[in-house]
Amino acid sequence: MRRILLLRGAELIVFAALAAIPLLVVNPYALGLLTLLAIYGILLIGLDVTVGYLGQVNLAHVAFLGLGAYTAGLAVTKLGLGMGPALAAAMAVGLLLGGLLALPALRLEGPQFALATLSFAALSTTALNELESLTGGAQGLSLSRPPVFGHALTPPLFFWLCLALMALVWMLMRNMLSSQWGRAFEALRDSPIATDAMGVGAYRHRVAAFSLGSGLGGLAGGLYAFNFQYLQPQSFNYDLMIILLLGVVLGGRKSLWGAFVGASVIVLLPNLLSNRLLFQIFSASGFALALAAGLRGLVKKITRPFQALAPVAAMGLLVVGGLLVENTEDWRKAIFALMLFSVVVGLPEGLMGFLSLFLAKLFRVPQAPLPKPSDIETILPTHEADGAPLLVLEDLRRHFGGVKAVDGLSMTVRSGTIHGLIGPNGSGKSTVVNVISGLYTPSSGRVLLRGGALPTGSLFRVSRSGVARTFQNLQLFGELTALENVMVALKGVYRSPLPMVLLGLARQEERRAQADALCLLDRIGLRDQALTRAKDLTYGAQRFLEVARALARKPDLLILDEPAAGLAHPDVVQLIEIIKRIHKRGISIILIEHHMDVVSELCHTVTVLDGGKVIAEGSPDEVKRDPRVMEAYLGQPPEPGPSGTSDPSGAPVPEPA
């Protein structure tokens, strides 16, 4: 209860205080600013979905604001719709066009995605300008606020409407972002490949997130239209786009409060620029903040000197400029540029991120206690393996140009076994795993799981068929906690449809997911670090976490690609223990491993690859004695004599230089 009050109390107080203002002060100008604050709040919450959660630079948001505004405007003027339907239409246009833009654009990454959204923004402003017969072009579009239930919406009433909508959006988004949906958004930002491999479609979640964010942009646009009652295409220009990005980054990404703080800054910006005194106060506080953040970074050794100094210098420039320059309005773009630069370099977590460091100390919100871990039997019930062929590879090939990484490989993995896959570096082991798991499509050949064809070329579909994997080069969701990493992958727990999630009615399954994930973490000895961010775990712990995450898929077949790579000896011992325990549950395992002693201890059958082909297969002892294996590893036939037959102590097989 105390926790709820601490967490939600601030929200209640702020919203109640905002709502009370029109009752206490009669000031049309202030009311206008507050209304804009609520509208921009919705807008930035939407933008934060792509910029914060997906980690993409989205330059199209201003276009959705414009399109939403014009949709609402036209719905009222041309179709005579009421306010509710007009707002719904504005949101629907954002959702729809956002989804359509996302389909091709989200196949792109980084700069290309930013360019795709930039072109969309250019296209939409041009369309609004040139479709004169519809939009009035540069002349603009005038509209009036339609009455609601027969009542004309006075400015205070309209403000309350905007505030209520922002509160609603806030609540629904909070529920969504703290559910499996929010985790999926964050997971795919950190590793789209692993997101797919954990059975959470990265692409569809990206499209959904972008569409959702754009829908909120459209809704904000609708409110914008009814607020100003006059629209011009050039209002939705690049300046505003930069300001919106500034708002999200300055406020703090991945945070509703951040969006709120960012919106407040945006709303106050015009006043800052037109009022000299205000600007000087503002730039001085910016300077102080940059100094504080910089010093803190230096003392805690988390920033380099230049990184700490640059924002201080930039803000200093702003202070000096504020004293020298006559008209700050003329310098607005330079001012935004300096602010954006300082925030990106000096406060990457934004104002809210920075403030929450101190707020957390002041209030000490107690962490919600984690539930009791589930019983492992309910998650991974032990079952007897029958030894029948589980995975069959038939004449599998994967060529990269001239490189025959996998070249006619046939092998059978029997259910209930630990099947070793070894071979020198570059012999094609990881490529085999990548083909089986759907990261690569095979050039030819077949992959059968229990006699049926396994889907090819789709990590997502393979993972849904009961095959889970880890990665040779770790692919954790670095920003998520260890617990959340496992929760993302949990199979068969999240059943509530989106509307229930939005309304916060899916808490039960969230608790269940926590309990299940905690149990799996317990199995790998990471229960105490459940709430540590994955990127802050030790290297060994990260390797184990990937195993636990793969187990959350409740797989029939688990593929481990060099899980011991880079581990210190005690960790290797622990890993062997973990693999044995997984095997006892009846899960079949393909183990790629360099250390021969690990292979000998764990594997029932070993397949040896060289040059993408099988050169030997059998028990660990058999393959170790095989002359072809010796040759592959040593690059020459073994010396005859006792030293040529393998060392029974199981020392690591030397790798070719």
Q: Which residues bind Mg ion (CB under 5 A)?
A: 429-430, 472
Q: Concatenated DSSP letters for 259-273? A: HHHHHHHHHHHHHHH
Q: Which helix (H) or strand (E) holds 400?
A: strand 389-400
393: CB partners within 8 A, 6+ apart: 409, 410, 411, 412, 432, 436, 445, 446, 447, 448
Contact by Cβ (8 Å): 118, 57 = no
Nearest approach, Cβ of 474 to ligand ADP (angstroms)? Answer: 15
Binding part of the chain for ligand ADP, among 21-29, 104-112, 419-427, 563-571 by CB under 6 A, reads 419-427
Which residue, 235 or 430, has its beta carbon nearer to Mg ion? 430
**C-alpha to C-alpha distance for 386 and 366, rounded to whole angstroms:** 49
- DSSP assignment string, 455-494: P-S-HHHHHHTTEEE--SS----TTSBHHHHHHHH--S--
Q: Which window, 150-158, 212-220, 355-363, 429-437, contacts ligand ADP (CB under 6 A)?
A: 429-437
What's the N-to-C CA distance of the chain in angstroms? 63
CA angle 94, 59, 32 (to 5 degrees): 65
CB 76 within 8 A of CB 277: no
Helix (H, G, I), strand (E, B) or coil at 38: helix
The residue range among 303-311, 421-429, 450-458, 622-630 that interacts with ligand ADP, by the rule CB under 6 A, is: 421-429
State the binding partner of 539 from Mg ion, ligand ADP, none, CB within 5 to 8 A by kind: none
For residue 2, give both structure tokens: 């105390």
- Rg of the chain on CA atoms, in Å: 29
Q: Which does 423 bind (CB under 5 to 8 A by kind): Mg ion, ligand ADP, none?
A: ligand ADP
Of Mg ion, ligand ADP, none, which one sits near residue 431, judging by CB under 5 to 8 A according to partner kind?
ligand ADP
Shortest approach of ligand ADP to residue 576 CB, angstroms?
Answer: 21
CA distances from 291 to 150, 246, 294, 298, 519 (A): 55, 20, 5, 10, 45
Q: How far is the CB of 193 from ligand ADP (least distance, A)?
A: 12
Binders in 372-401 for ligand ADP, by CB under 6 A:
400
Neighbours of 521 (CB within 10 A): 26
Instruction: Please tell me whether residue 496 binds ligand ADP under the rule CB under 6 A.
Output: no
Residue 572: which of 560, 584, 588 has the closest Cα? 560
438 torsion bin: left (phi>0), alpha (psi -120 to 50), beta (else): left
Q: Which amino acid is at 413?
A: V
182, 476 Cβ separation under 8 angstroms: no
The listed partner (ligand ADP, Mg ion, none) that binds 363, CB under 5 to 8 Å by sort, is none
Phi, psi angles (nearest 5°) of residue 422:
-125, 170
* Least distance in angstroms from the C-beta of 550 to ligand ADP: 18
b or e along 186-203 (b: 16 or more beta carbons within 10 Å of the residue's beta carbon)?
bbbbbbbebbbbbbbbbb
Distance separating alpha carbons of residues 476 and 486, to the nearest angstrom: 10
Least CB distance to Mg ion at residue 434 (A): 9
Of the pair 72, 603, the CB lying nearest ligand ADP is at 603
Chain residues 298-357 in contact with ligand ADP, contact rule CB under 6 A: none
CA distance 304 to 317: 21
Nearer to ligand ADP, 236 or 471 (CB): 471
Does position 423 interact with ligand ADP (CB under 6 A)? The reply is: yes
356 binds, among Mg ion, ligand ADP, none (CB under 5 to 8 A by kind): none
Nearest to 524 by CA among 504, 543, 544, 509: 544
In the bound state, the residue with its beta carbon closest to Mg ion is 430
- Pick the piece of the chain touching ligand ADP (CB under 6 A) from 29-37, 319-327, 381-389, 418-426: 418-426
Q: Which of 43, 219, 345, 405 binds ligand ADP (CB under 6 A)?
A: 405
How many of the other CB atoms lie within 10 Å of CB of 82? 14
Find the shortest distance in angstroms from Cβ 397 to ligand ADP: 12
Smaller CB separation from ligand ADP, 253 or 543: 543
469 binds, among Mg ion, ligand ADP, none (CB under 5 to 8 A by kind): none
Q: Which is nearer to Mg ion, 51 or 599 (CB)?
A: 599
Strand duo 452-453 + 444-449: pairing: antiparallel
Decide whether 427 or 646 has the Cβ nearer to ligand ADP: 427
438 binds ligand ADP, rule: CB under 6 A: no
With CB under 6 A as the contact rule, the residue among 135, 180, 427, 475 that binds ligand ADP is: 427
Residue 420 touches ligand ADP, criterion: CB under 6 A:
no
Instruction: Determine the Cα–Cα distance for residues 372 and 375; give it in Å rounded to an integer.
Output: 9
Binding-site size, ligand ADP (CB under 6 A): 11
403 binding partner (options Mg ion, ligand ADP, none; Cβ < 5 to 8 Å by kind): ligand ADP
Is 428 a residue that touches ligand ADP (CB under 6 A)?
yes
Is 52 or 428 the residue whose CB approaches ligand ADP more closely?
428
Tokens of 72: 């609402």
Say which amino acid occupies 241: M
Residue 73 or 428: which CB sits closer to ligand ADP? 428
Stretch that binds ligand ADP, among 253-261, 428-436, 475-483, 507-515 (CB under 6 A): 428-436
355: tokens are: 């403030």
Q: How far is the CB of 476 from Mg ion (least distance, A)?
A: 18
Q: Which two tokens stand for residue 405?
A: 């990484």
∠544-459-440 over CA atoms, to 5°? 105
Least spacing, CB of residue 596 vs ligand ADP, in Å: 15
| Minimal distance, residue 433 CB to ligand ADP, in Å | 8
Among 426, 445, 455, 586, binds ligand ADP (CB under 6 A): 426
Q: How many helices (H) and strands (E) does the chain have?
A: 27, 12
- Looking at the Cβ atoms of 38 and 632, the one nearer to Mg ion is 632
Rounded CA-CA distance 557/571 in Å is 23
Q: Around Cβ 585, how many Cβ atoms within 10 Å?
A: 17
Q: Per CB under 6 A, does 430 bind ligand ADP? A: yes
Cβ distance to ligand ADP smaller for residue 283 or 430: 430
Q: Where are the beta strands (DSSP E) in 130-229?
A: 141-142
In the complex, minimum distance from the CB of residue 592 to ligand ADP, in angstroms, rounded to a whole number: 7
Is residue 429 at the binding interface for ligand ADP, with CB under 6 A as the rule? yes
Biggest CA–CA distance in the chain, Å, is 101
C-beta closer to ligand ADP: residue 413 or 552 = 413
- The stretch near ligand ADP (CB under 6 A) out of 95-103, 351-359, 369-377, 427-435 is 427-435
473 contributes a contact to ligand ADP by CB under 6 A: no
The contact mask relative to ligand ADP for 562-601 (x = CB under 6 A, - = no) is: ----------------------------------------
Q: Which of 5, 7, 13, 403 binds ligand ADP (CB under 6 A)?
A: 403
User: If DSSP codes are grouped into helix, strand and coil, which group holds residue 382?
Assistant: coil
- Chain residues that interact with ligand ADP, rule: CB under 6 A: 400, 403, 405, 423, 425-431
